């Protein structure tokens, strides 16, 4: 493993408490209500007064969802900002709309909770995590440590096929922008960074990025400035240019600048109160 990567991993081990805090916030929030995402709009913020939820009128699916499908629906909803931070997830309802037992729901929620997407609040239930300002900053500190080196590594070994795959992904981002499909823009932007980690072939980095991408989406949901772009639209293309040219220094610098620009679009002075439509997530 590259020396710099070893240093990064060492730092992350030393700061495991901080990472556990980020994970814990997301762990319990899915463990009770997230497995499929409550298809009803009656959601609850973790610090707000609970409102009575009407009896479910949604029919169970023709075939039960698999754990992987439930997990994927929830994670995608977070990536697309359709599950807002603080959304209460109702375990019984998730089980009903997914056609599975509550035991299966808990399995999925526990996995998502381990990845920090859910917060489990004793005696209150499961909520989509709401990262604090410090936790939000920690996410970007971690990404600035990891991703410039990722870009450097990929620029060293990138194949023509990998470059083509990256450019294809950026074209998909462009199509989403033309359609003003903000949820898709946000999801694709996060997936771009995961794709880079996947191409490197380092399972530890890939696992980290798969956890950091949805965490970042929750941070953006809470703190992004009105009408701010998820990513400056040209920066992914600029990064690919550096990777294709095998310019390690430029690739690392481009990635760092890109992450700094994303963080600059955030406003840590005010937290928005979003009310997601959970039913739409599983329709």
| Residue 74, domain CATH | 1.10.10.10
Q: Give how far Cα 140 sits from Cα of 2, 133, 262, Å.
A: 22, 11, 9
Q: Is residue 246 part of a domain?
A: yes
- This prediction's pTM: 0.67
Q: Is residue 3 part of a domain?
A: no
Confidence of residue 73 (pLDDT cuts 50, 70, 90): confident
Pair (125, 144) in one structural domain: no
Pair (158, 251) in one structural domain: yes
Pair (260, 151) in one structural domain: yes
Distance CA 277, CA 109 (A): 19
Which tens digits make up the pLDDT trace of 99-143?
888 888 888 888 888 888 888 888 888 888 889 999 999 999 999
Range of the domain at 205: 133-264
The helix or strand, by DSSP H or E, that contains position 121, with its residue range, turns out to be: strand 118-121
pLDDT for position 279 = 52
**Per-residue pLDDT at 40 exceeds 50:** no
Distance CA 102, CA 156 (A): 47
Pair (69, 99) in one structural domain: yes
Q: Is residue 17 part of a domain?
A: no
Quick count: other Cβ atoms within 10 Å of Cβ 198? 18
The number of C-alpha atoms within 13 Å of 124 and in the hemisphere containing its C-beta is: 21
Q: Is residue 63 part of a domain?
A: yes
């Amino acid at each position: 493993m590259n020396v710099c990567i070893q240093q990064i991993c060492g730092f992350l081990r030393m700061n495991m408490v901080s990472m556990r805090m980020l994970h814990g916030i997301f762990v319990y929030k899915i463990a009770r209500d997230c497995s499929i995402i409550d298809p009803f709009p009656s959601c609850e913020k973790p610090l707000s007064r609970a409102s009575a939820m009407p009896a479910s009128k949604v029919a169970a699916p023709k075939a039960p969802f698999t754990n992987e499908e439930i997990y994927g629906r929830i994670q995608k909803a977070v990536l697309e900002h359709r599950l807002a931070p603080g959304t209460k997830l109702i375990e019984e309802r998730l089980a009903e709309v997914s056609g599975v037992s509550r035991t299966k729901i808990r399995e999925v929620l526990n996995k998502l909770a381990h990845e920090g997407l859910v917060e489990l609040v004793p005696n209150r239930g499961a909520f989509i995590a709401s990262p604090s300002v410090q936790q939000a900053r920690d996410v970007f500190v971690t990404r600035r440590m990891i991703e410039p080196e990722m870009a450097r590594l990929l620029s060293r070994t990138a194949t023509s096929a990998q470059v083509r795959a990256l450019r294809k992904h950026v074209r998909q981002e462009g199509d989403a922008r033309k359609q003003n499909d903000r949820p898709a823009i946000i999801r694709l932007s996060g997936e771009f960074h995961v794709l880079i980690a996947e191409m490197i072939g380092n399972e530890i980095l890939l696992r980290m990025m798969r956890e950091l991408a949805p965490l970042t989406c929750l941070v953006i949901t809470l703190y992004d400035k009105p009408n701010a772009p998820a990513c400056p639209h040209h920066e992914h293309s600029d990064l690919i240019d550096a990777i294709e040219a095998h310019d390690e220094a430029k690739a690392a610098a481009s990635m760092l600048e890109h992450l700094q620009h994303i963080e600059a679009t955030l406003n840590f002075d005010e937290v928005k109160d979003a009310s997601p439509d959970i039913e739409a997530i599983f329709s």
